[in-house]
Chain A
Amino acid sequence: MSALNADSQVLAKGRRVALEQLFANYAPAERFQIGVSIAGLSVAVDFACFGLDAQQKLSDDRYMTFFNQPQTPCGAVALAAPAGDMAGFTCQLALLPATVDRLVFTAAVDGNGTMRQMQAGYLRLLTGLGQEVARFAFNGNDFADEKALMVGELYRKDGTWRFNSIGQGFNGGLAALVKHFGAEVAEEVQPPKPVEPKVSLSKITLEKRGDKISLDKPKTASGYGRIVCNLNWSAQQTQKKGFFGGKSADKAVDLDLGCLYELSDGTKHVVQALGNCFGSYEDVPYIHLAGDDRSGAVAEGEFLYINGKYFDRIRRICIFAFIYEGAVSWTQADAVVTLTVPDHPVIEVRLDSQGKDSNMCAIAMLENSHGALKLMKLNEYFGGHEKLDKHYQWGMKWRSGSK
């Protein structure tokens, strides 16, 4: 259905109106849509919906709906842009718990820039079928140095829902907005800061198993850019392999880097040198293994490249290292895995567990959590692919092979 509607109501700034009245001539508003756009800014704009309690605070942060959390637990508000809008939400207000008194729709510039610099923007209400019912339009002249706006809100009043076009904001951006709605959430929306200055000011070393880091959401069209995972180790008893790659007899250390992956369409497979599953960077699975270094003599070690541009097509990746041959123990191999996501601190995992004779180590799990890259250190040791697969419930069939 066309979004154009000559009968769409014009909502002036500050207008308060009952939803019932707005939707009077349309299908019942049990399920409707909010669409928002801001044009003419050179920086990205983040849109969010804050579900507030009667004190106008975000007492339950699960009711902040945004890129990292695309819907409320009740399903009443879900991130979904109507056709033609930069962002938006579907709303089924009847599903909201009574504790949520107000839904505030916000926009925040990400980086330099202020709302004054916009050309034009709007928030509109649409039927569930996409027909525009009402529109609150604004432009750069309406603002000064605000970086974050409360664009409009839906709120309960005397047992019904009303809409208020707001168009007011804060110079401090999203952080100021979040503080306005209750300060305790502020830390959770901030990307984690490097916390281990004793190792390196620019690195995060995950020391404990199970530490989770949620990286910021993709900033550009290329998503997370090129995510680089490197395995390097100090070779002991190193000896160069023969021209034909024959295996040396004196047990040079050969560690292999690889991963199990699961795509959003359910495809599951492995990327590793074994079986020549080197993957592909620009095509499925968007993961490429380069530089199988059998000796550890190549200073850079082995690399696994993950194409962040397609991170939305990836559900999870379990990065592992295994001892193809040679190394007696992990301690001896002295291996380090570093994971580099552009514009983020380097993450470093040291394979330093003692006394493990299992030849396979699950290093880290990368998960696509509603668009955000979540990384968890695993550092769990297994006696082979099949056992690792089973432990993380990948569900693939395994047979032995060699490279």
Chain B
Amino acid sequence: MSISLSKGGNISLSKTDPSLKNVIVGLGWDARPTDGADFDLDASAFMVNSDGKVRSDADFIFYNQPKSACGSVEHTGDNRTGAGDGDDESIIVLLDKIPADIQRVIFTVTIHDAEPRKQNFGQVSQAFVRIVNKDSGVEVTRFDLSEDASIETAMIFGEIYRHTNEWKFRAVGQGYAGGLAALARQYGINV
């Protein structure tokens, strides 16, 4: 049975599901359906080292660069409306392929063109991130974070990180102003 995490909580992926090798990180949200500008939310992943920075721009996985050079992290596609049940976007992570100098893979969701469209996470509800075993299809853990941001335009949903010899997942739920660009700069991307 899937374990629900609350903000800040973490779980050992290796212990919870010893068979877990290939992960689907599913991210979902509902934007309030109104007649204003469309909400376009984008999931991204940052692969960072022990300093919390990317090794290069190649470690930033997003709509314009859907797959890491090593092949361990892959974005499966952009959903421009957030329509439909279940995951709105998903990122596949092959744990065994993650380079040894990558300490964490951080999963974020940002609102595209948030400023001109006057949008923020306060207008988004039912946001979640879940970790699914790609091979068995079983959900390992889940974090519902709809209330954890409001006027921010970028959110760290969660992260997969190394801890001694295992992989863990942490429910982060931290919001930032400035959208994807601000977040990317924070991790050392040249935007």
Contact = CB atoms under 8 A, between A and B. Distances in A.
Interface size grouping (class) on chain A: 20 to 34
A14 B119 contact: yes
Contacts of A172: 35
A390 interface: no
B112 to A, nearest CB: 15
Contacts of B150: 14-17, 164
B35 A142 contact: no
Contacts of B118: 13, 142, 167
B151 interface: yes
B35 A171 contact: yes
B72 to A, nearest CB: 35
A101 to B, nearest CB: 13
B36 A165 contact: no
B50 interface: no
A213 to B, nearest CB: 32
Looking at chain B's contact residues, is the secondary structure mostly helix, strand, loop, or mixed? loop
Contacts of A164: 122, 150
B19 to A, nearest CB: 34
A169 B121 CA distance: 17
Contacts of B151: 12-15
Interface in A138-187: 142-146, 150, 157, 162, 164-172, 176, 180
Interface in A116-148: 142-146
A168 B34 contact: yes
A362 to B, nearest CB: 48
Interface string B6-46: 00000000000000000000000000111111000000000
B122 A16 contact: yes
A169 B36 contact: yes
Highest count of chain B CB atoms <10 Å: which of A14, A142, A166, A171:
A14
Given A16-B150, A17-B150, A169 B122 contact: no
A15 B122 contact: yes
B34 A169 contact: yes
Nearest to B149: A16
Nearest to A145: B35
Given A15-B150, A157-B147, A166 B123 contact: yes
Contacts of A144: 35-37
B120 interface: yes
A143 B123 CA distance: 15
Interface string A32-55: 000000000000000000000000
Interface string B121-164: 11100000000000000000000000100110000000000000
Nearest to B152: A14
B172 to A, nearest CB: 18
B39 to A, nearest CB: 10
B34 A16 contact: no
5 contacts: A12-B120, A13-B120, A14-B120, A17-B150, A168-B123
Interface string A68-93: 00000000000000000000000000
A157 to B, nearest CB: 6
A154 to B, nearest CB: 14
A369 to B, nearest CB: 32
B147 A14 contact: no
Contacts of A162: 147
A319 to B, nearest CB: 45
Interface string A297-330: 0000000000000000000000000000000000
A103 to B, nearest CB: 16
| 7 interchain residue pairs of minimum CB distance | A14-B122, A16-B150, A14-B120, A168-B34, A171-B35, A12-B151, A170-B35
Contacts of B34: 146, 150, 168-170
Nearest to A142: B118
Contacts of B120: 12-14
Given A14-B119, A14-B120, A169 B147 contact: no
A150 B122 CA distance: 13
Given A12-B120, A12-B151, A150-B32, 18 more contacts: A12-B122, A13-B120, A13-B123, A15-B122, A15-B150, A16-B122, A17-B150, A142-B118, A144-B37, A146-B34, A157-B147, A164-B122, A164-B150, A166-B123, A168-B34, A170-B34, A171-B35, A172-B35
